[in-house]
Amino acid sequence: MNSEEQSPPNPEDEGSHAKLVPLRVRANGDRVPLRLRINGDLVDASVPGNQTLLEFLRYDVGLTGTKQGCDKGDCGVCTVLLDGTPVLSCLTPAADLDGASVETIESLARGSTLHPLQDAFIERGAAQCGFCTPGMLMSAKALLDRSERPTRDDICAALAGNLCRCTGYTKILEAVEDARDVLIAERKR
């Protein structure tokens, strides 16, 4: 992906997430064994120390629903959920994810039924080229999982790390609001 070799993570930078294993300095070529859950499935793998979660998902696991837009953490296209929290998979070393649980766009639908977010994105025309859509949906899911009644401002703040170049954001906002309302109605039932 990026032609530059990535430098090892700095042990001083404590990841905000509790389940992350302590960061270690390792040689980039060393392979690290890990066992993690991806979309609920237990996966055993071994990855080089310099491999990102994005590369691991796309190249090793074959889940190409997660896209790469910049490979340096600027665009949000590669957003996945790590133990429920949205992260940029292009900046997340795969080798640190032993014991973690990763959710990608491929797991958003409820079995064969679309998630209300997916349904609303289709209905509102919130996906034009669709390239930002998987990351956008995962950020939105994390918001709707943690917040019952997010306001328009809450939604804008939660999705500010996800660029869209097609829509001017209007239809995405409408879609997330629609999905929020559907989920509120579901909870009442």
Partner 1 sequence: MKATNPPERTDELHIIGRRVRKTGAADQVTGRAQYTDDLRFPGMLHAKIVRSPHPHARIKAIRAERALALEGVHAVVTGKDMPVLYGIIPWTQDEYPLALEKALYIGDGVAAVAATSEHIAAKAAKLIEIDWEVLPYALEPEDALKPEAILLHSNKANNITKHVHLEFGDVDAALAESDVVAGGEYSFHGTTHGALEPHCAIGLWEPAGVLTVISSTQVPHYLHRELSRVLAVPYDRVRVIQPPVGGAFGGKSEPFDLEFCVAKLSMMTGRPVKILYTREEVFYAHRGRHPMRFNYRVGAMRDGRLTGCDARVLVDGGAYASFGLVTTYYAGQLVTAPLRLSAYRFDSTRVYTNKPACGPKRGHGSVQPRFAFEVTLDKIARELDIDPIELRRRNLLVAGDRTINGLLLRSNGFGVCLDRVEAASGWKDKYKRLPYGHGIGVAGSFYISGTNYAIYPNEMPQSAVQLKVDRSGRVAVFCGLSEIGQGANSMLASITAEELGLEMEAIRVVSGDTDLTPIDLGAYSSRITMMAGNACLMAAREIAKTIKTAIARRWECALDAVVLARGFASERGAKEPRSVPMAEAICWAETDSGTLGSVGHYNTPKDGHGTYRGATIGASPTYSFTAHVAEVRVDSKTGVTTVDRIWIAHDCGKALNPTLVEGQMEGSAYMGFAEAIFEEHDFYGSGLHKGPSLLDYRMPTFLDCPDLVSLVVEAGDPEGPYGAKEVGEGPLHPSIPAIANAIYDAVGVRVDSLPFSPSAVLRLLQQKAQQKAQREAEPLAVASGGRPC
Site residues (CB under 8 A) for partner 1? 1-3, 5, 58, 63-72, 74-75, 77, 104-106, 108-109, 114, 117-118, 121-125, 127-134, 137, 155-157, 159-173
Q: What interhelical angle do 170-188 and 116-124 show, nearest 10?
A: 140
Query: Least CB distance from residue 84 to partner 1, whole Å?
Result: 19
* Class of residue 114 by CB neighbours under 10 A (exposed 0-12, middle 13-18, buried 19+): middle
Closer to partner 1 by CB, 82 or 88: give it.
88
Spatial contact of 66 and 134, defined as CB atoms under 8 Å apart: yes
Query: Least CB distance from residue 3 to partner 1, whole Å?
Result: 4
Closer to partner 1 by CB, 36 or 121: give it.
121
Q: For residue 39, what are its two tokens?
A: 């979309």
Closer to partner 1 by CB, 83 or 154: give it.
154
Closer to partner 1 by CB, 20 or 141: give it.
141
Query: Least CB distance from residue 97 to partner 1, whole Å?
Result: 20
